[in-house]
Structure 1
Amino acid sequence: MNIVVIGQGAIGLLWYHHLVQSTDNRVSLSCSSSISSAPTYYEFTDIEQLYGRFALNVADEIAFAKADVILLCVKSYQVNAAIEALKNKIPTNAVIVFCHNGLGAFNDFSTLKHTCLALLTTHGCKIKHPFHAQHTGLGQSDLGLIYGNISNSALNEITTVFNNSLPTVTSSDAIKEKQWLKLAINCVINPITALENVDNGELLNDKFQRQIAALIHEIIAVAAFENIRFTFDDLLKKILTVAEKTARNSSSMRSDILQKRKTEVDYINGYVVAVANKMAFLVPENEKLLQQIKALEIMK
C-alpha cells in the first residue's frame, strides 16, 4: 500500500515510524511548509525507551500521485490548508484519513472527490525536539467513514495495514459517537491542565470536580443536538479513567501553551460553543475555558 503521512508532529512521526516498518508498505512523510529543508533521518524512542535513528523518506510528487492513502496528522487549524494543497496532487481514488483533535476542522467535504475516514487514537506521544518523537503511552485506535463511500473490503484492508503497524486498530460504524467521546474528554482534560499547568492525573483532585461536572452537563446537552447521547455517570467515569491512565502525561493543549504554540481550543471547547450558539443554548463553562485559553495564547 502506498501511504503518505502528512505532518512531522508527534502523531505523524508515531504513525510514520510504525507504518514504514512493514515491508508491504511504501511510506513517505510530507513535512509542513515551515520546514525549508527536511533532514535525511528522524529519531524515535519507542515505548520500551529504546532509541533509534532512521532514514527519512520524504514524499515527492510521485509519492502523492501514486498514493492509496493520505494520513493527515496535522493540527486542527492546519487541516483546511493541507486539504487545499492536496486537491490537485493526489488521485481521486486515494483515501484521506483525518487524524487530528477536535471537530469542525473541515466541513466542506462536498468539494472533495475522495473518500474520507477519521482515525482516532489514544496512544501517547511527544516531540522531544524536531524530528524526534517519543512514544509515551500505549493506546488503541478507531477508524471509520466520515464522507463518501468505501467497500467493507477496502476499509478492512486499510484497517489491517494500520493494525499490523500500530495495534490495536478497529474499524467502527459509530465513528461520530467516538469522535464526540474524544471531544468530550478533551474538552475537560486539555484546557484545565493547560490553565493549571498540571499533569492529567491532577484532575482526579476533588477541587476540580465541580468544574468537571458543569462541563459534562453542557457537553451532554450540546451533543444531543447532533443526536449523540451521553449519560452523566458514564461520561464522568470515562473522563476520570483517562485522567488516571494518563496521570503522568501532559495534555497536548498544555504542551502547546508551554511551547508557545497555537492551541486547538477553537475545535475542542470552541466547537461546543459554536454548536451551542446554533441552539441558542448557554455553555458558560466551555465559553470561559475557551476565552481563558485564547488569552493565555496571547500572553505566551
Structure 2
Amino acid sequence: MREPQSDTPRIHVLGVGNLGRLFAHALANSPNPPPISLLLHRSSLLEEWEQAGRKITITTNGVVNSIGQFDVEEITSASAPSTPVSNLVLATKTINTLSALRSISHRLNSNSTVLFAQNGMGTIDETDSQVFTNNSTRPNYLTCITSHGVFDTGPFSSVHAGQASISIGRSLQRPPPTSPSTAQYLIDKVLEALILAAKEYPSEELLFLQLEKLVINAIINPLTAILSCRNGELLDKGPIVKVMRLLLQETAQVIQLLPEISSSDDPSVADRFSTQKLEVKVLDVAEKTSKNTSSMLQDVRAGRQTEIEYINGWIVKKGREQGVECEHNAKLVEMVKGAKKIGIDELRDLFAGPGGTFGVADAIVDVVKP
C-alpha cells in the first residue's frame, strides 16, 4: 500500500463500531489512501485500541486483513487537539448523533464536510436545530445508505459478512451550504475505496433511496424485535404479513404527503411510494436476508437502546405534522422501547380491529408462504 501524501486532506472517523471500522479499513485500503484519524469518545476505547495491537482487523470470506495506518485522538481528553476537522465520517448510532457532534462542533465549520453514515431519518434536522444553528458556519452534509453486513468479533475487529454497496450523495440542505464545493473530496475518497462499492447519486434520488430503506427497516426491524425471530420468519404466518400491510399503509400515506414527494410533477414518484410498491421491496429484502437477525433484535437482546425513534418514531412524527395518526407505527415504537416480546396470537389481538379483522390487509394473502 502506498503511503498517503502529507498534503492530502485528513479524514476523521467518529464512531468506531462495525460500520466505522469498515469505512476506516476501506479508506486505508484505497489506491491513494488519505491520512485517517479515529476519534475515540471514551478512555476505554483507547485501552481496547492498545489491546487490538493498534490495528483494525476486518475478516472477509475467511481472509484476515489488519491495518494500523491510523492516528488516534481521544476527544474527551484535556489534551485533545483543537485543529479543524475538514472531513468527518459520522458512524455513531443515531441516538448518539447530537452528543457526538457536540464534542467536536468547535472543530467544524462551513469548509467542513460531515458524512452521516447512519440508519434512520431525522438526525440532520436535529443537528441543525441543536448543534449547528448558524447557517453561515454550518458544515456541508453528505448522507449515505449502507447495505453491507458487518458484525463484531472483538476490540476493533469485525467480520465483513455481507459484501454489498453504498449509495452516497449530498444532503438536501435548506438553505444551501455556503461552501458546497468542499464536499466533493470526501465523496471521491469514498468512491475510491473499492471495498465500499459506493455510487454517487443526486440529492433528490438519494433521499428517495433513503425513504425506501427507512420503510424496509420500519417493517422488518421492529417486528423481528418483538417477535424475537429471524427476518425470513416474518413471511411464514398470515397474521404477520397482514400487520406488515397495516404498517405499510400508514407509512406510504405519510411519505406521499412529504413536501419532497407531493411537490413532484413526476407521477412515478408517488407511485414509487405506493403501498404495493413498498410491500414488494420489504418482502424481497425479508426473503433475501431470511437467515439474518436484524440489528434491532440484536440490540434488544443485548439490552441496548435501539434506533426505533429514528425509524418508526420518525414516521409517527412526520405523520402528526401532516395530520396522519400512525397508531400502528406508534404501537410498535412503544413495544420496542419496552422490550416487549410477543407471539403470533398476541400480535393478532394487538393489531386486528373489531371482530379480529385487519381491514384491507385481509384482502390479499397471496404472498404468504404455504
TM-score by length of structure 2 reads 0.73
Q: How far 1:246 moved relative to its partner?
A: 2.0
Give the superposition deviation at 1:97: 0.7
Contact 1:4 1:59 in 2 (8 A): no
- Distance between the aligned counterparts of 2:116 and 2:324, measured in 1? 29
Q: Secondary structure at the match of 2:305?
A: coil
Contact 1:28 1:63 in 2 (8 A): no
Task: Write out aligned runs for 1:171-182 (5 A).
Answer: 171-173=200-202, 174=204, 175-182=206-213
1:143 CA displacement:
1.4
Question: Who is 1:215 aligned against?
Answer: 247
SS in 2 for 1:96: strand
SS in 1 for 2:101: helix
AA paired with 2:198? V
Q: Structure 2 counterpart of 1:134, which letter?
A: V
Aligned to 1:9: 17
- Could you tell me whether the CA contact under 8 Å between 2:46 and 2:74 is conserved in 1? no
Separation in 2, partners of 1:51, 1:266: 36
Query: Is 1:71 aligned to 2:89, yes or no?
Result: yes
Deviation of the 1:162 alpha carbon: 0.8
1:54 equivalent in alignment to 2:85: no
- Please list, as runs of the form range in 1=range in 2, the aligned pairs for 1:1-300 lying within 5 A after superposition: 1-22=9-30, 23-33=32-42, 35=44, 37-38=46-47, 39-40=49-50, 41-55=54-68, 56-59=70-73, 65=83, 67-107=85-125, 108-109=127-128, 110-111=133-134, 112-146=137-171, 147=173, 148-149=176-177, 155-165=183-193, 166-173=195-202, 174=204, 175-207=206-238, 208-227=240-259, 228=261, 229=270, 230-296=273-339
Amino acid at match of 1:220: A
Mapped contact 2:140–2:180 kept (Cα < 8 A): no
Residues 110, 138 of structure 2: 8 Å contact kept: yes
Displacement of 1:145 in angstroms is 1.8
Letter aligned with residue 242 of structure 2: R
Counterpart secondary structure, 2:221: helix
Query: Are the counterparts in 2 of residues 122 and 140 from structure 1 also a CA contact under 8 Å?
Result: yes
Shift of residue 64, structure 1, vs aligned partner: 6.8
**Aligned 8 A contact 1:116 1:145 in 2:** yes
Q: CA, structure 1 residues 297+43, in 2 after alignment: closer, same or farther (shift >3 Å)?
A: farther
In structure 1, what residue type is equivalent to 2:283?
L
Per-residue displacement from partner, 1:163-205 (whole Å, max 9, x unpaired)?
2213421222222222211111110011111112222222232
CA–CA distance in 2 between the matches of 1:75 and 1:215? 24
Question: Residue 89 of structure 2 contacts residue 116 of structure 2 at CA under 8 Å; is this kept in 1?
Answer: yes
Question: Structure 2, unaligned stretches of length 5 or more?
Answer: 1-8, 262-269, 342-370
Residue 193 of structure 1 contacts residue 251 of structure 1 at CA under 8 Å; is this kept in 2?
yes
What's the CA shift for 1:209? Answer: 1.0
Q: Alignment partner of 1:127: what SS? A: strand
Summarize deviations over 1:38-96 as a string: whole Å, max 9, x none.
41324433331222443253136888735431000011111111121221123531101
Q: Which has the larger radius of gyration?
A: 2
Q: Is the 8 A contact 2:169 2:201 kept in 1?
A: yes
Q: Look up the SS of the partner of 1:262 in the other structure.
A: coil
Looking at structure 1, the residues matched to 119 and 252 of structure 2 have their Cα atoms a distance apart, in angstroms, of: 19
Question: Deviation of residue 155 (structure 1)?
Answer: 5.0
C-alpha displacement at 1:36, in angstroms? 5.5
Q: Which runs of 5+ in 1 are unaligned?
A: none
Within 2, Cα distance between the matches of 1:217 and 1:261?
A: 29
Give secondary structure in 2 for the equivalent of 1:19. helix
TM-score where L is the length of structure 1? 0.89
What is the rounded CA distance, in whole Å, between the counterparts of 1:196 and 1:89 in structure 2? Answer: 44
Contact 2:111 2:182 in 1 (8 A): no
Tell me, yes or no, if the aligned pair for 2:169 and 2:187 is still in contact at 8 Å.
no
The CA distance in 2 between the partners of 1:235 and 1:150, in whole Å, is: 36
RMSD between superposed Cα atoms in Å: 2.5
In 2, are the aligned partners of 1:99 and 1:120 still within 8 Å (CA)?
yes
Q: Are the counterparts in 2 of residues 263 and 297 from structure 1 also a CA contact under 8 Å?
A: no
Q: Pick closer, same or farther for the CA change 1:154–1:142 going to 2, 3 Å.
A: farther
**Identity rate of aligned residues, in percent?**
26
Offset at 1:249?
1.9
